[in-house]
Homo-oligomer: A and B are copies of this chain.
């Protein structure tokens, strides 16, 4: 994957997180919810996951202020079986419920080896990889999924049915940040279409369709994207999207993706109850940690040493983002112009000081 080029302000993560938290607090969001959403969004932006980073602040603000999202939810945790826990998110921000799901599932997995946490009556939780990585930073391996409203045409179809339905997998790696896979089961996440609208750059060919169902490279004309695998092998992407949708609906009690109202409005007043699905495992109960760490390390060493095509290097999942995260520690996090304008407006409206623009590195 190539990283998007973003022209705009650059803000240090340590300045950005409290600013974002303050914006959410000023809109009446309770402290745990504001802390969770700002942590997740700044984490994603820090790790170069810009499609799911702080550019989503206005999206959540609209939901919180419109009444779609509960600003002070009461989470309910139910142990459905010895290795299953369910979190009812009370229509609050998905970030809060998802961090909680990982905490609860990790506690169980430490005893039983594996636990599933289902989340219901939730809302958009940003990048699913924030939560699987959170588990891995505590020594657990995690698989995470979420479904969403329709934005992806099924294989052979002409109109949107699936959400971008991401799959994320994180596993601790000795001496470095966790290995982190976090991928939409669509060719690209619809958020990337939105980011391309903000940055004014065209889309790759045969990835997105316009309202007539024809492929387009115009981000502004795109209304849906296709499944990973494209015209020939898109049944694989559709199959993975089906799996994610089923695990996030039949197993959480929610309806499947196409029963959900559009996340993008026009109605921002009513909850759109979605589900998330997490599997958390305790590696130490599978193998000794010495064996486990040796296996992970030898996989990484071997993969990264593979011969590459000119202009490429063979990388492990998340390596590209890790390298960019390292750079951003000194250069700050890039904020696109549309998001930066929104931040200026929030700062003025709520009387919150704008974080300092550290400029182009």
Contact residues of A with B, CB < 8 Å? Answer: 1, 80-84, 86, 111-116, 118, 141, 143, 154-159, 161, 167, 169, 171, 179, 181, 183, 187-188, 204, 213, 228-230, 232-233, 235-236, 238-240, 242-243, 245-246, 249-253, 255-256, 258-259, 279, 281-283, 285-287, 291-292, 295-296, 298-299, 302-303, 306-309, 312-317
* Contact indicator B236/A279 (Cβ below 8 Å): no
A242 to B246, CA, bound (A): 23
Tell me how far the C-beta of A144 lies from the nearest C-beta in chain B, rounded to whole angstroms. Answer: 12
A269 to B279, CA, bound (A): 39
Tell me how far the C-beta of A274 lies from the nearest C-beta in chain B, rounded to whole angstroms. Answer: 13
* Contact indicator A113/B81 (Cβ below 8 Å): yes
A235 to B229, CA, bound (A): 12
What are 15 A-B interface contacts by the 8 Å CB criterion?
A: A82-B111, A82-B113, A83-B115, A116-B281, A156-B309, A157-B312, A171-B250, A183-B240, A187-B229, A187-B233, A213-B309, A228-B229, A250-B292, A251-B286, A256-B299
* Contact indicator B84/A239 (Cβ below 8 Å): no
Chain B: CB-nearest residue to A320: B235
* Contact indicator B82/A112 (Cβ below 8 Å): yes
* Contact indicator A158/B308 (Cβ below 8 Å): yes
Counting every copy of the chain, the complex holds: 2
A251 to B283, CA, bound (A): 7
Q: Contacts A113-B116, A233-B228, A285-B81 given: A299-B154 contact, CB under 8 Å?
A: no
Which interface residue of A242, A255, A308 has the most chain B CB atoms within 10 A? A242
* Contact indicator A80/B285 (Cβ below 8 Å): yes
Q: Which residues of B contact A313 (CB under 8 A)?
A: 156
A315's contact among B156, B228, B233, by CB below 8 Å, is which? B156
* Contact indicator B286/A84 (Cβ below 8 Å): yes
Tell me how far the C-beta of A66 lies from the nearest C-beta in chain B, rounded to whole angstroms. Answer: 27
Q: Which residues of B contact A116 (CB under 8 A)?
A: 113-114, 281, 286
Tell me how far the C-beta of A116 lies from the nearest C-beta in chain B, rounded to whole angstroms. Answer: 5
Q: Contacts A286-B84, A299-B246 given: A114-B258 contact, CB under 8 Å?
A: no
Q: A246-B295, A249-B295 are in contact. List 10 more A-B contacts (CB 8 A).
A: A1-B233, A81-B113, A83-B112, A114-B114, A156-B315, A157-B306, A157-B308, A157-B314, A242-B317, A253-B287
Q: Which residues of B contact A279 (CB under 8 A)?
A: 114, 279
Tell me how far the C-beta of A164 lies from the nearest C-beta in chain B, rounded to whole angstroms. Answer: 12
Tell me how far the C-beta of A319 lies from the nearest C-beta in chain B, rounded to whole angstroms. Answer: 10
Q: Contacts A84-B114, A113-B82, A115-B114 given: A161-B291 contact, CB under 8 Å?
A: no
* Contact indicator A114/B83 (Cβ below 8 Å): yes
A228 to B111, CA, bound (A): 36
A111 to B82, CA, bound (A): 8
Tell me how far the C-beta of A58 lies from the nearest C-beta in chain B, rounded to whole angstroms. Answer: 28
A306 to B113, CA, bound (A): 40
Tell me how far the C-beta of A153 lies from the nearest C-beta in chain B, rounded to whole angstroms. Answer: 8
* Contact indicator B236/A228 (Cβ below 8 Å): yes
